[in-house]
Amino acid sequence: MFEITNLRDGAVLNRNFGVETDEYLEIKVAGIAAPQATVKVNGVAAERHDRTFIATIRLTDKINRITAESDDYFGVKTQTITVVWDKKSFPRYNFFFDDCSFFLRWITLNHPASIFEEMFLGRLKRIHDKYGSKFMLNLFFHDDHHDFAISDMPEDYKEEFQANSDWLKLSFHARSEFPDRPYQHADSAKLAADFDEVYREVCRFAGKECFIAPMVIHWAITNPENFGVLKERGTRCLAGGFLGSIAHIGETHSVQVTDIGYHYEKDVAHYVCDKHIFYDRYYDLFLLNNICCCNYDDIDVLQEKFAALAASPYDTVNLMSHEQYSYPDYFNYIPNHLDRVEEACRLATEAGYQPAWFPQGILGNTAWDK
């Protein structure tokens, strides 16, 4: 057997995996090979110890190919993997809300002097003022609970949305909440049309500056053939549950299933859930899982999850929830929902994570874009 064992195709590496300078990330590549074989990694001779090998190489690009070569009397074997250098990485977190429309309906019906008189937006602003948190609100075009469409939203608050676009952004999620899993079997034309409809409305009532490319669509599932629609519109990463996700409060599984994860196979799902970040070279997209979902996870669970992150060498933490659980007229209303959101932001801040927009750069790290 000949195989690289300490890294896999799609790994995203930062300063915690080696020695970083402005020019390179120096890492060790280890694996197993036949004891008599000569092994090189990217041309560097590897040290041999019985069946194991180890070589020190330098990554100099954003996307790097690592090729290990084994040469003995049985022939030459090679393995090539692709890894990403997350250059000048730093601990960072993103927070998005799915299924959003209720806050726009309230503003449309009540015509407040400020958008932050609305309960949900007002609480998010207080959390932002306290912790610097940034929030993505992923929109439905139509609110199926109240028969409201965002095309009814007036343009009166455009300047206020733009003035707060450094921490509050709007994105596409789906045309509406129902039917469930709207893009699981939809073609690219359907996804493109729904996306463009929401994008036009956001530009109209909030301004282009307030729109950010989506990192999740409703139910986090669509045929990978549709990824091109999202990439053409700016998507660089996709977030999901990937493994053992639940679809409703109280659901349990007897076995781990892959779902809410864009049809990826189980080996990728396991890796994403373990490492939190993965690069898919086939589609040039980053995948990440959600560390928590505040409408599922109460404060004690959030604290446990952040405690488990303390030893992680990875810098990215994705937080999420769903807007509607904040509202008393929603049938699954959670009275402390926004307290959970604030607790997640507090925990992230105290753990040293900085707020970032994950749809930009490598999950919020734009060092390669400069």
Rounded to whole angstroms, how far apart are CA atoms 334 and 345? Answer: 18
Residues 30, 96 within the same domain: no
CA angle 149, 150, 155 (to 5 degrees): 140
The CA-to-CA distance between both ends of the chain, in Å, stands at 42
Rounded to whole angstroms, how far apart are CA atoms 150 and 141? Answer: 5
Residues 29, 63 within the same domain: yes
pLDDT of residue 244: 62
32: DSSP letter? E
Q: Label the pairing between strands 38-41 and 63-72.
A: antiparallel
- For residue 332, how many other CB atoms are within 10 A of its CB? 12
Count of domains forming the chain: 2
Q: What is the pLDDT along the chain (370 residues), one digit of tens a residue?
A: 999 999 999 999 999 999 999 999 999 999 999 999 999 999 999 999 999 999 999 999 999 999 999 999 999 999 999 999 999 999 999 999 999 999 999 999 999 999 999 999 999 999 999 999 999 999 999 999 998 999 999 999 999 999 999 999 999 999 999 999 999 999 999 999 999 999 999 999 999 999 999 999 999 999 999 999 999 999 999 999 887 665 656 666 555 656 788 999 999 999 999 999 999 999 999 999 999 999 999 999 999 999 999 889 999 999 999 999 999 999 999 999 999 999 999 999 999 999 999 999 999 999 999 8
In the chain, alpha helices (H): 102-110, 119-131, 158-163, 188-205, 227-232, 266-275, 299-308, 337-350
Residues 80, 102 within the same domain: no
Alpha carbon 314 to chain centroid distance? 13
Helix (H, G, I), strand (E, B) or coil at 29: strand
- Show the domain range for 263: 92-369
Residues 138, 64 within the same domain: no
Rounded to whole angstroms, how far apart are CA atoms 159 and 176? Answer: 26
Pick the last residue of a domain from 52, 85, 118.
Answer: 85
Residues 125, 32 within the same domain: no
Residue 297 · residue 326 · CB < 8 Å: no
Tokens of 329: 């007229």
CATH number at residue 245: 3.20.20.370
155: DSSP letter? S
Residues 190, 301 within the same domain: yes
Bridge partner residues of 354 (DSSP): 92
Rounded to whole angstroms, how far apart are CA atoms 306 and 353? Answer: 11
Residue 175 · residue 197 · CB < 8 Å: yes
Residues 324, 260 within the same domain: yes
The structure tokens 């733009």 sit at 162
Return the closest-CA partner of residue 305 out of 317, 322, 288, 323. Answer: 317
CATH number at residue 59: 2.60.40.10
Rounded to whole angstroms, how far apart are CA atoms 217 and 236? Answer: 13
Residues 190, 78 within the same domain: no
Pick the last residue of a domain from 36, 53, 85.
Answer: 85
CA-based Rg of the chain, rounded to a whole angstrom?
A: 23
Rounded to whole angstroms, how far apart are CA atoms 357 and 354? Answer: 10
Residues 153, 257 within the same domain: yes
- For residue 16, how many other CB atoms are within 10 A of its CB? 12
Residue 13 · residue 35 · CB < 8 Å: no
Residues 297, 356 within the same domain: yes
Longest dimension (CA), the chain: 80
Q: Report residue 333: phi and psi, to 5°.
A: -50, 135
Residues 162, 184 within the same domain: yes
Tokens of 211: 């729109």
The structure tokens 């074997």 sit at 77
Q: Report residue 215: phi and psi, to 5°.
A: -120, 5
Q: pTM for the whole thing? A: 0.95
pLDDT of residue 242: 86
